[in-house]
Amino acid sequence: MDCVFCRIVDGRIPATLVHEGERVIAFQDLSPQAPTHVLVIPKDHHQDVGALAAADPRALAELVAVAAEVARDQADGQYRLVFNTGPSAGQTVMHAHGHVLAGRDLTWPPG
Ligand code: AMP
Ligand code: ZN
């Protein structure tokens, strides 16, 4: 299986890592949509956040904790954590990931 985020976990393609934990890594999004735009992903491949929750709840808990840490480190601790799930919700990479968006006012509802 050819998965871009598995390749980042393996170090086969470069990324700007901001955190490496036991079960997750966090890195800068290639196309930032806010002053802070970091992706937090499980090291193991799971298709989306629901699959991750079912298979490895500890990894999901670590992911959420790292997201909060990134928002504290890079911004003022206020952030949005987004899991696009399925193509019609905007998921383009089929490896579970949370977007941490922070550092500017965010509108609601999202588009
Ligand atoms: P989604 O549309 O929710 O699946 O989000 C995928 C995100 O991954 C997008 O925001 C892309 O900018 C980002 N992305 C894709 N490839 C890379 C990469 N090689 N390094 C960093 N971010 C990436
Ligand atoms: Zn993967």
- From the CA of 8, which ligand is nearest? 1
Q: Is residue 45 part of a domain?
A: yes
- Active-site residues, by number, are 97
Given the CA of residue 15, which atom of ligand 1 is nearest to it? 20
Q: Which atom of ligand 1 is nearest to the CA of 8?
A: 19
Report how many domains make up the chain: 1
DSSP 68-100: HHHHHHHSSS--EEE---SGGGT--S-S--EEE
Residue 111: which pLDDT band, with cuts at 50, 70 and 90?
confident
pLDDT tens profile 36-55: 999 999 999 999 999 999 99
pTM: 0.98
**Ligand 1 centroid from CA 39, angstroms:** 8
Residues 1-18: tens digit of each pLDDT: 799 999 999 999 999 999
- Cα–Cα distance for residue pair 45/6, rounded to 1 Å: 7
**What CATH code is carried by the domain that includes residue 43?**
3.30.428.10
Residue 12, in any domain of the structure: yes
- Domain range for 46: 4-102
Q: Is residue 9 situated within a structural domain?
A: yes
Residue 109 lies in a domain: no
